[in-house]
């Protein structure tokens, strides 16, 4: 038999699917894969239900429903002051996952280099490698996840086509600072590079932190493709609606990719998300403040269980260092992958090992687990209590 794609046949099942399956098998509370444990907002779902009955239900325009493209352009203006032409500079995709693939396939040629900042979301690398481009990584430094500017500079070369920037960042909860964005922008200009900006958590940012799209910095408007996700912004991860904002000349090849990947995305859902994006600022602020309270609730529960919780300024996620459970050398003493499996089976709470976000396990931290907090309060409390009981059994 002829071999299939080297990149994809060598890949395992994603860590998110793997841990969700393990959680289900052991009846564990699933704080692994990032998704809210409710059905999402009633009002947006009501708009979608009506749109399914009233139509349209046939192929929408390839770039997306005009209502949603206009709403995305208006949201860019309202939240970030960006002037965007909705017709040539906005495209709707089937989730940010498709948007990422479209951008990478649309921009990269074989032999180009693409910079990833580790820990990095798992879908980036395989797409880059499948088109024959090379991944160059720069690793953030835990526990503060600072960006090493010398390492960043060393990652750029005259073959750098793009950098992939995820802010607010999964799994760290880091929101990149203005100074870090300035440094990235300066290197992009020096090396004539683009940025694919994964900003799916743009509205899930907590007090004290501010999300600044790289695209708003001087010289960046023409170099950035900015990706949003209705799944995250409206707690509807199963709907698969994403959107890309970018200059028309970059959008053109990205749209050519989209036309042969999914071509379009369900029009009634697009209309409902357009309605959502038109809601007032309080609508967005309410989601962020409710998530912030959940972050604090789970942080307290994890700390009470004896875990060393790292700060998180955005996203659905909080990381914890579990070496603190190793009191009197009796507690857990394995890798992060082993820890996440152990607590799934024994504590009946599952999490994601942070090392899964690194290509080379030898370079990854082995002592951090990522917990998802976009769950009902009672579920978070139950998970904390289970972890506390587990830790107690460990001598912690």
Q: Which residues here bind ligand PMP, judged by CB under 6 A?
A: 34, 95-97, 121, 166, 170, 198, 200, 229, 231, 237, 242
Of 240 and 388, nearer to ligand PMP (C-beta) is 240
Residues 27-46, one symbol each (x = binds ligand GLN by CB under 6 A, - = not), give ------xx------------
Contact 374, 36 (CB under 8 A): yes
Q: Which of 343, 220, 211 is nearest to 285 (CA)?
A: 211
Q: Please give the residue whose beta carbon sits closest to ligand PMP in the complex.
A: 95
The interface partner of residue 106, options being ligand GLN, ligand PMP, none and the CB cut-off 5 to 8 Å by kind, is none
Q: Smallest distance, Å, CB 236 to ligand PMP?
A: 9
Q: Which is nearer to ligand GLN, 170 or 257 (CB)?
A: 170
C-alpha to C-alpha distance for 146 and 213, rounded to whole angstroms: 18
**Contact of 305 with 391, CB cutoff 8 Å:** yes
Residue 160 or 167 with smaller CB distance to ligand GLN: 167
259 binds, among ligand GLN, ligand PMP, none (CB under 5 to 8 A by kind): none
| Closest approach of ligand PMP to the CB of residue 117, in Å | 11
Beta carbon nearer to ligand GLN, 277 or 352: 352
Instruction: Output 14 or 87, the one with its CB closest to ligand GLN.
Output: 14
Residue 14 contacts which entry, ligand GLN, ligand PMP, none (Cβ below 5-8 A, type-dependent): ligand GLN
Angle formed by the axes of helices 42-54 and 267-277, nearest 10°:
140
We find the least distance from the C-beta atom of residue 291 to ligand PMP, in angstroms, to be 14
Sheet of strand 113-118, all strands in order from the earlier edge strand to the far edge: 90-93, 242-245, 224-229, 194-198, 160-166, 113-118, 134-139
80 binds, among ligand PMP, ligand GLN, none (CB under 5 to 8 A by kind): none
The alpha-carbon radius of gyration of the chain (Å, integer) is: 21
Half-sphere exposure of 385 (CA within 13 A, CB side): 6
Q: Within 121-180, which residues bind ligand GLN (CB under 6 A)?
A: 170
Nearer to ligand PMP, 196 or 310 (CB): 196
- Interface positions, 276-305, toward ligand GLN (CB under 6 A): none
* CB of 33 vs ligand GLN, minimal distance in Å: 4
Nearer to ligand GLN, 166 or 245 (CB): 166
Is residue 14 involved in binding ligand GLN (CB under 6 A)?
yes
- Residue pair 98/242 in contact (Cβ under 8 Å)? The answer is yes
Give helix 281-304 / helix 377-393 axis angle, nearest 10°: 20
Nearest alpha-carbon partner for 201 in 177, 249, 234: 234
Closer CB to ligand PMP, 170 or 324, in the complex? 170
Could you tell which of ligand GLN, ligand PMP, none binds residue 33, using a CB distance below 5 to 8 A set by kind? ligand GLN
Beta bridge partners of 29: 349
Q: What is the DSSP annotation of 19-43?
A: HHHHHHHTT-EE-SS---SS---HH
Q: What is the DSSP string of 68-126?
A: HHHHHHHHHHHHH-----TTTSEEEESHHHHHHHHHHHHH--TT-EEEEEES--TTHHH
When CB distances are held under 5 to 8 angstroms depending on the partner's kind, the choice from ligand GLN, ligand PMP, none that residue 242 binds is ligand PMP
Closest CA to 371 of 173, 147, 145, 123: 173
Q: Give contact residues for ligand GLN (rule: CB under 6 A).
A: 14, 16, 33-34, 170
């Amino acid at each position: 038999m002829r071999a299939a794609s080297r990149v994809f046949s060598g890949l395992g099942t994603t860590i998110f699917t793997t841990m969700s399956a393990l959680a289900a098998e052991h009846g564990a509370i699933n704080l692994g894969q990032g998704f809210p444990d409710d059905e999402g907002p009633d009002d947006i779902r009501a708009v979608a239900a009506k749109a399914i009955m009233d139509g349209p239900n046939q192929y929408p325009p390839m770039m997306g429903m005009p209502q949603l493209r206009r709403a995305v352009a208006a949201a860019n203006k309202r939240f970030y002051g960006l002037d965007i032409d909705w017709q040539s500079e906005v495209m709707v995709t089937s989730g940010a996952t498709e948007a990422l693939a479209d951008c990478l396939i649309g921009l990269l040629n074989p032999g180009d280099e693409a910079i990833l900042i580790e820990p990095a979301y798992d879908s980036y690398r395989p797409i880059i490698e499948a088109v024959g481009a090379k991944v160059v990584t720069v690793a953030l430094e835990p526990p503060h996840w600072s960006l090493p500017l010398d390492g960043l500079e060393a990652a750029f070369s005259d073959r750098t086509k793009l950098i992939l920037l995820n802010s607010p960042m999964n799994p760290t909860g880091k929101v990149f600072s203005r100074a870090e964005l300035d440094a990235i922008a300066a290197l992009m200009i020096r090396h004539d590079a683009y940025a694919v900006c994964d900003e799916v958590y743009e509205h899930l940012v907590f007090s004290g932190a501010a999300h600044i799209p790289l695209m708003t910095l001087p010289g960046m408007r023409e170099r950035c493709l900015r990706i949003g996700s209705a799944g995250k912004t409206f707690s509807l991860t199963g709907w698969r609606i994403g959107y890309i904002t970018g200059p028309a000349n970059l959008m053109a090849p990205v749209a050519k990719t989209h036309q042969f990947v999914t071509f379009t995305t369900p029009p009634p859902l697009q209309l409902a998300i357009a309605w959502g994006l038109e809601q007032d600022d309080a609508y967005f602020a309410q989601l962020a403040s409710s998530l912030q309270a959940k972050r604090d609730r789970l942080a307290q529960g994890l700390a009470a269980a004896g875990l060393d919780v790292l700060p998180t300024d955005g996203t659905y996620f909080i990381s914890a260092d579990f070496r603190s459970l190793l009191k009197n050398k009796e507690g857990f003493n394995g890798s992060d992958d082993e820890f996440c499996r152990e607590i799934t089976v024994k504590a009946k709470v599952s999490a994601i090992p942070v090392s899964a976000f690194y290509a080379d396990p030898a370079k990854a931290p082995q002592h951090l687990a990522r917990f998802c907090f976009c769950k009902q309060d009672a579920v978070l409390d139950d998970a904390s209590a289970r972890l506390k009981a587990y830790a107690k059994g460990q001598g912690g």
